[in-house]
Amino acid sequence: MIEREHQGPSGSSPGLPLETVLFDLDGTITDSAVGIVESYRHSLTSFGLSASDAEIRRLIGPPLADGFSGLGVAGGQLDEAVDRYRQYFSTKGILENRLYPGMAEILGDLASAGIRIGLATSKLTEYAERILDHLGVAAHFEVIIGSTRDGSRVHKEDIVGCALAELGQPDPSGVAMVGDREHDVYAALIHQVHAIGVTWGYGSVEELRTAGAHVLVDGPADLNTLLLQAESAPDR
């Protein structure tokens, strides 16, 4: 089901026409919960802390330092917590990942329709590249932008801004950001592009609505329909 919440940029609707689509990774393209939960747990144990799967799953998407802070890691230990997380994730957690059914088809259909595709994720760029390559879909992406190890690019609005810059600053009215968390929506709104929330990931419908998503989509088939409206738009 496709549920329209608010008008998009300039009062337009996503897909009429779309020329560029940015995707989040975790909870949007891939189900990465197992690897992320285990990576969090590996790091928390070293500080004598623990958290349930449900507590950790709610933190998938935002920057890692924010997640560890919410789980009780002291401010002065956040960098160490992130490093310990990455030690596990880079060797084991990164491969505990799978494509959501239908996502490979969406990416292929968008590419065939001539729509530019980019990735904007809070994961390190190098991890995102490895994951997409491992899953066989990296070739569909014109740009893959994530966070940086030095902390110079961490927040989602900066990541989306970098992706748009790498794509040559396309007209926002023809761009959509697709994601499962409020941070994806906020970043889209900051850059005045269409904010499409997907409900199969790690955020809730209420979270996406409250953040101001223009459209909510319940399944990959509906997302494909929405995004490919651009293919038949009169001015394409």
Q: How many CA atoms lie within 13 A of 155 on its CB side?
A: 7
Identify the DSSP state of 98: E
Of these residues, 24, 26, 180, 222, which one is catalytic?
A: 24
Q: Is 114 left (phi over 0), alpha (psi -120 to 50) or beta?
A: left
Q: Indicate if 24 belongs to the active site.
A: yes
CA distances from 138 to 113, 133, 236 (A): 17, 5, 26
What count of other Cβ atoms lies within 10 Å of the Cβ of residue 91?
A: 10
Q: Which residues contact 136 (CB under 8 A, 6 or more apart)?
A: 104
Peptide bond before residue 17 is cis, with ω within 30 degrees of 0: yes
Q: Which residues contact 151 (CB under 8 A, 6 or more apart)?
A: none
Tokens 């958290």 locate to 51
What six digits make up the tokens of 212?
């101001």
Q: Find the angle CA(52)-CA(55)-CA(57) to the nearest 5 degrees.
A: 105
Enumerate the β-bridge partners of residue 216.
3, 197
Q: Which helix (H) or strand (E) holds 177?
A: strand 175-179
**Which are the catalytic amino acids?**
24
